[in-house]
Chains A and B, each alone.
Chain A
Amino acid sequence: MTTTGDKASPFHFDRHAPEYIDHFDDLTHQLHEKCPIAWTETWGGHWVASGYKEVFEIARHGSLLSNDHDVHHERKGWQGITIPSPPGRDTRGGFLEMDPPEQRDWRRAIDPYLSPAAINRWKPMLDDLTRACIDERIETGTIDFVDDLANVVPAIMTLALMGLPLADWEIYCEPAHAQVYTPPTSPDMARVIEMTSVTQQKLLDGIRECRRNPRPGMVLGLIEAEIMGGPASDSDIRDTLGLLIGGGFDTTTALTAHSLQWLGENPTERARLRAELPELIDLATEEFLRYYTPAPGDGRTVTCEYELSGHHLEEGDRLWLSWAMANRDPSVFEEPDAVKIDRRHNRHTSFGLGVHRCIGSNVARTVFKAMLTAVLDRIPDYVCDPSGAVHYDTIGVINGMKHLPATFTPGLRIGKGIEETIGLWQKSIDEEGLARPVTRQG
């Protein structure tokens, strides 16, 4: 029987299965050719939108799709942005599991901490933290790009933006990554949930401390915010901080690891990027974002009947927007399965489309560029060890890596180590109020 991708004739698609990682290109080609919007029977049944045209049409549609996660069954019982919805979940995933206007109020509260102008102020700290990470390893000639660099800088940056103590980054780090790479059916899930609940408590403590002793940062911005006409509860603020940690820690790590691995495998392109960095760094960054799509997709719930490319969507249907597959659509991207570090007109969907555009996109780009620039500058001849490179067991949530060891010609330290560097920047943040919002709306 020919698969039509309708409910009566589903297309088998399981983004948590190993085939999704191992045969991503083939699977993408099949979906694009046969059914760029397809029904699959997995995880309770859901649509998969893989064609650029389809993703573009519905993701930007004002009211067709809902992000709402109605954990207390107060509205329509919709399941938010994860397919399958995590078992036993009784909290929303911050404003990413809300619809406007509530979602808009939350975003407005933190926009001025995350705009390009706001993030530019952090470049000196990012460069210094990156330098310190490399200094920790440069005399040994060995580094794990994930453990020693890409896990560290994004985590510290995220805490800095929030106004939380930088030295706590390690407490949040493992659970932030593990809750993403652990498959929903894994026996390790209970431990991961336990670790996550410890960090949830830590965040609540941080919010209460900020209420007692206000200090600049997104925590204070959320405490002071007016959400739907009133202040937000501590638990709602905690859920949004959890979202910002998930978004801030793991995605940029994933992008950095994959990009450094690719550049290690393509030394001619690496040398070209290094030689022409000012001209190429923006284009190369967007291309790595497109090709590796750190957050490969998002779930939604269909709110009303809708015809899309010959398929009939019904209210309540679950739907997966595959940013990763839309990014490989040949009708928009020439040679979509190739990395071209000078690709132009790269209107990729890696930060999503529509009102839920990744609010941390400017952080991600700036942190990534700081790390990439320093690696190309200081250890440009690195060679990754393929036998030590570990990809996530499931890339259903984030297309990430756990480890990426490499060797290189040793060099000389040029500054202080990471612990001391963190301490110095904490002092600057405290004394100079670096985490203030860049502008205030009048």
Chain B
Amino acid sequence: MSDGRGRAGGAIRLKVHVDPDKCQGHTLCAMEAPEAFELSDFDGHSTARFETVPAGMEQAVRDAAKTCPEQAIVITD
């Protein structure tokens, strides 16, 4: 499945996004990984700061996903 997709420098890179239909603005992802998630000024709903997770931030993104009460953070590789 990783053929030609999600690869950079030979390593499999994770992809992340926040499902806007599930996110309710609990803000815990940004508390866990502020470098990866940004909150709307208007209602605190979250978006990922990037689609492809930069090297070294995989664990922070996974931790944020585990912390989300709505399980709105989708990680794919």
Residues of A whose CB lies within 8 Å of any CB of B are 56, 60, 108, 111-112, 115-118, 282, 286, 344-349, 351, 353-355, 357, 361-362, 438-439, 441
Contact = CB atoms under 8 A, between A and B. Distances in A.
A372 to B, nearest CB: 16
Contact of B70 (A282, A344, A353): A353
A112 B43 contact: yes
A439 B44 CA distance: 12
A438 B67 contact: no
A116 B42 contact: no
A46 to B, nearest CB: 24
A349 B63 CA distance: 17
B17 interface: no
A162 B3 CA distance: 55
A438 B42 contact: yes
Contact of A355 (B24, B30, B66, B71): B24
Interface in B17-58: 22, 24-28, 30-31, 39-44
A353 B26 CA distance: 9
A355 B21 CA distance: 10
22 contacts: A56-B71, A111-B42, A111-B43, A115-B39, A115-B40, A117-B39, A117-B41, A118-B41, A286-B28, A345-B63, A346-B28, A346-B67, A347-B66, A347-B69, A347-B71, A348-B69, A349-B69, A351-B26, A353-B70, A354-B24, A361-B26, A361-B27
B14 interface: no
B68 interface: yes
Contacts of B39: 115-117
A295 to B, nearest CB: 14
State the majority secondary structure of interface residues on B: loop
Given A286-B31, A362-B44, A439-B41, 7 more contacts: A344-B63, A345-B67, A347-B69, A348-B69, A351-B69, A353-B24, A357-B25
Interface of B: 22, 24-28, 30-31, 39-44, 63, 66-71
A178 to B, nearest CB: 30
Contact of A362 (B27, B42, B71): B27
A117 B70 CA distance: 21
B70 A116 contact: no
Given A345-B66, A347-B68, A112 B24 contact: no
Contacts of A353: 24, 69-70
Contact of A60 (B22, B26, B42): B22
B67 A116 contact: no
A291 to B, nearest CB: 15
Contacts of B67: 344-347
A118 B68 CA distance: 22
A53 to B, nearest CB: 12
Contacts of A357: 24-26
Contacts of B70: 60, 353-354
B38 to A, nearest CB: 11
Nearest to A111: B43
Contacts of B31: 282, 286
Nearest to A112: B42
B65 to A, nearest CB: 9
A357 B70 CA distance: 10
Contacts of A348: 69
B42 A441 contact: yes
A342 to B, nearest CB: 13
B22 to A, nearest CB: 7
Given A60-B22, A60-B70, A353-B70, A347 B28 contact: yes
B36 to A, nearest CB: 15
Nearest to A365: B27
Of residues B25, B40, B43, B67, which shows the largest number of chain A Cβ atoms within 10 Å of its Cβ? B43
B24 to A, nearest CB: 4
Given A60-B70, A345-B66, A353-B69, A438 B27 contact: no
- A-B pairs, 3 with minimum CB distance: A111-B43, A357-B24, A117-B41
Nearest to B62: A345
Contact of A115 (B26, B44, B66, B68): B44
A438 B42 CA distance: 7
The residue in B24, B66, B71 that gathers the most chain A C-beta atoms within 10 A of its C-beta is: B24
A25 B71 CA distance: 26
